Structure 1
C-alpha cells in the first residue's frame, strides 16, 4: 500500500524543519558561527540569549537580574566591576527610552556601569542622553567587534 504524495511532502517538510531548528539552536550556543545576518533574524528572546553567550565567550561572568521587570537583561561582572546591560533587538535606530531605562536599571541593581546593547544604531538624541547619563552604547559595530573576538578565541 503506497502513501499518498501529500504524506511524503508533509514528512519531508517536517524533517527539514527539525534539521533547521537543530542547526539554529546550535548557532545560538556556538557564537563563532553567527554573523550579523543571522542576528537580525533572531527573535528578541533568542537575541538576548545569544548576547549572553557571546559576552560569556569574550570573558564576562553573566548573571541575570533578580527582578526581570527592571529592564536590565544581563548583569556582567569582570575584574570586580558590575555592569548592567539592556539587550534590545530593533529593526531601526534606537531612541532615548532604552538609555533612560538602562541608567535606572544600573542604579537599582547596584552596578557601576550601564550599557545598551543592540543590533542597530542609536539616534543622535540617544547618543547625547547617553553622554549625559554615562551610559555606554554598544551598537552594531561593537556587536561585530565582539563576534570577531569570540571567533578569535576558537570553540
Structure 2
C-alpha cells in the first residue's frame, strides 16, 4: 500500500512540476515577445524578468537579485570574465540621480567591473552627470528598444 501511495505522489508531483514548467515557459515567451508599449505597462518585476531573458539571449549569464535588500542592483550579469550590475527602472517619469547613486553603491557591494541603469523612459541631467563621473552606462528608451530588437533572437 505504501509503495502505491508513494508512486502516486511521485506521479502527481511530476505532473504538477510539468504544468508549472510549462506555465513558466509560456510566461517567459509572453514577456520576451513584449514590445515597448507592453514594457510601459509592466510591473518592475516583469521588467526585470524581461531584461534577464534578453541578456540571456545575448549570451550573458544572469542572476536576479532578491526582491528586497538588493543593495542597489536588480540583475548581475556575467560575460567574458566581467561582472556587471544593473539597476532596472520601469518608470512613467524620467529617472533621477537616485538610481545612479544606488547602482554606484552596488558596484562595491557586488565587486562588479561595470554598472548600468536601464529604463523605458529617459534620464534627468543630474543622472547623466553623476553617471559620467562614475562610469555608469545609462540605457534610455531608445537604447532599450534597440537592445530588445537585437536580443529577441538567441545567440
TM category (shorter chain) comes to: 0.7 to 0.9
CA distance in 1, matches of 2:150, 2:67: 30
Which residue of the partner structure matches residue 56 of structure 2? 56
What is the Cα deviation at residue 57 of structure 1? 1.1
Query: How far does residue 66 in structure 1 lie from its aligned partner after superposition?
Result: 6.8
Instruction: Report deviation, 1:61.
Output: 0.8
Q: Kindly indicate whether the alpha-carbon contact (under 8 Å) linking 1:86 and 1:116 is maintained by their aligned counterparts in 2.
A: yes
- Tell me if the contact between 1:58 and 1:146 (Cα under 8 Å) persists in the aligned partners: no
Which position in structure 2 is the counterpart of 1:46?
46
Supply the distance in 1 between the matched residues of 2:42 and 2:62 (Cα, whole angstroms).
Answer: 21
**2:131 is the counterpart of 1:130:** yes
| Structure 1 partner of 2:79 | 78
- 1:64 Cα deviation (Å)? 3.1
Number of residue pairs matched by the alignment: 130
Gaps of 5+ in 2: 1-23
Show the counterpart of 2:122.
121
Q: Is the 1:117–1:138 contact (alpha carbons within 8 Å) kept by the matching residues of 2? A: yes
Normalising to structure 2: TM-score of the pair? 0.76
Deviation at 1:132, TM superposition (A): 0.7
Other structure's SS at 2:107 match: helix
TM-score after normalising by structure 1: 0.76
Distance across 1 between alignment mates of 2:35 and 2:66? 30
Q: CA deviation at 1:127?
A: 0.4
Alignment of 1:1-150 (within 5 A): 25=27, 26-28=29-31, 31=32, 33-65=33-65, 68-69=68-69, 70-150=71-151
Offset at residue 74 of structure 1 (A) = 0.6
Per-residue CA deviation, residues 95-124 of structure 1 (Å, 9 max, x unaligned), is: 100001101001110001010111110011
SS of 2:144 mapped into structure 1: helix
Name the CA distance, whole Å, in 2 between partners of 1:87 and 1:107.
18
Q: What RMSD in Å do the two structures reach over aligned CA positions?
A: 2.2
CA distance in 1, matches of 2:64, 2:37: 26
